[in-house]
């Protein structure tokens, strides 16, 4: 592995034995390091990159072969640098949350996603996509509230609007990521509910979304406690919050927990794409759920495979025009 100054990744210097081996060097300014060897081949890079919120996400970037993530862990802010190899994944982390970030790394890369019982042969398109992408896995961040907040940014707006607002809020109110990041990076704010109203307004986030985030942030501790309890019903927990419906719940479960069965009912595109891929015609949410029912337990996996299949409904109508509620 090359030096940090040339590739954005520190030298490895980590033990070679075992599945996960941590180097707990407490030297100030130097990272903690880990090496994770999956027991089966997994597409870790795709699993991690699925967490990026737009090309200019201040909490997520790439520099050559290294993926960089800034996060607010339960132990504090951390920066995680990930290099995915053929049979091993190397991680280096800086900041108070570094140890937590390294402990969580395998799950971020999809280690907890178990495709056992998934039958791709039920449809030729799914069978072909699965044959070409057998290492597909769903990663999880285990950062419940920040996943929820990120999804709320995307409610009923274009990706351009949501990602732009996310970028501004994290840059203005987030915490600067520690370590030798390839560009300035920022972890999500510690106190979402303390962001002033002018901040949301200037970022372009619509008032219903900002009010939903602020209201949820005031209940952050109870949300996270309930969602991590044994046998927690995540859907019931999230949809009990004002302004959070089934779409927001599903998207949060996908990102925070890597839920392989979550279906984003109410999405602007998903039902159309599923219908077109599986039948040649677009469908609505009810039709999508009927089509996906044979794969219950793995419905999000099927949706991911459809996305990788290369089969997409032709775009005939005009694109949704972003609305801007700010004064000019």
Residues of the chain with CATH 3.30.310.200: 23-119
Q: What's the pLDDT at 314?
A: 85
Residues of the chain with CATH 1.10.340.30: 144-309
322 — pLDDT class (breaks 50, 70, 90): low
Contact 284, 271 (CB under 8 A): yes
The candidate with the shortest Cα–Cα distance to 92, out of 14, 175, 2, is 14
Q: What's the pLDDT at 243?
A: 97
Q: What is the rounded average pLDDT of the residues 178-192?
A: 97
Contact 177, 186 (CB under 8 A): yes
Q: What is the rounded average pLDDT of the residues 221-226?
A: 97
CATH among 3.40.50.300, 1.10.340.30, 3.90.1150.10, 3.40.50.460 for 144-309: 1.10.340.30
Contact 67, 84 (CB under 8 A): yes
Length of the chain: 328
**Radius of gyration of the chain from its Cα atoms, rounded to whole angstroms:** 20
Instruction: State how far the alpha carbon of 28 is from the alpha carbons of 31, 95, 96, 276, 306, in Å.
Output: 8, 10, 11, 54, 46
What's 23-119's CATH class? Answer: alpha beta
Answer whether residue 2 shows pLDDT above 80: no
Answer whether residue 20 shows pLDDT above 50: no
Percent of the chain clearing pLDDT 90 (strictly above): 84
Distance CA 293, CA 310 (A): 22
3-state secondary structure 115-157: CCCCCHHHCHHHHHHHHHCCCCCCCCCCCHHHHHHHHHHCCCC
Residues 6+ apart with CB under 8 A from 57: 163, 166, 167
Answer whether residue 93 shows pLDDT above 50: yes
Q: Compare 320 and 126 and report the one with higher pLDDT.
A: 126
Mean pLDDT, the chain, rounded, equals 90
């Amino acid at each position: 592995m090359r030096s940090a100054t040339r590739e954005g990744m520190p030298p490895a210097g980590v033990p070679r034995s075992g599945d996960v081996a941590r180097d707990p060097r407490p030297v100030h300014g130097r990272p903690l390091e880990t090496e994770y060897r999956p027991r089966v081949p997994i597409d870790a890079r795709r699993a991690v990159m699925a967490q990026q919120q737009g090309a200019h996400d201040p909490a997520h970037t790439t520099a050559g072969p290294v993926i960089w993530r800034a996060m607010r862990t339960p132990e504090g802010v951390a920066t995680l640098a990930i290099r995915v190899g053929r049979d091993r994944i190397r991680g280096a982390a800086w900041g108070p949350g570094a140890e937590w970030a390294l402990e969580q790394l395998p799950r971020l890369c999809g280690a907890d996603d178990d495709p056992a019982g998934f039958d791709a042969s039920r449809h030729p398109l799914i069978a072909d996509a699965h044959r070409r992408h057998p290492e597909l896995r769903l990663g999880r961040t285990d950062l419940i509230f920040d996943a929820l907040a990120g999804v709320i940014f995307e409610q009923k707006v274009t990706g351009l609007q949501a990602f732009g607002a996310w970028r501004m809020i994290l840059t203005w109110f987030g915490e600067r990521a520690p370590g030798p990041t390839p560009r300035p990076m920022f972890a999500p704010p510690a106190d979402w509910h303390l962001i002033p109203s002018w901040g949301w307004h200037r970022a372009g986030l619509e008032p219903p979304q900002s009010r939903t985030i602020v209201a949820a942030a005031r209940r952050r501790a109870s949300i996270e406690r309930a969602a991590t309890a044994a046998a927690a019903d995540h859907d019931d927990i999230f949809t009990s919050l004002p302004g959070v419906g089934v779409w927001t719940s599903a998207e949060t479960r996908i990102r925070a927990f890597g839920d392989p069965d979550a279906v984003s009912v109410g999405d602007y595109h998903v039902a159309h794409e599923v219908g077109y891929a599986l039948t040649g015609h677009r469908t609505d949410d009810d039709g999508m759920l009927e089509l996906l029912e044979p794969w219950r337990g793995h419905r999000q996996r099927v949706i991911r495979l459809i996305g990788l299949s290369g089969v997409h409904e032709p775009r005939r109508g005009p694109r949704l025009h972003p609305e801007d509620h700010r004064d000019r």
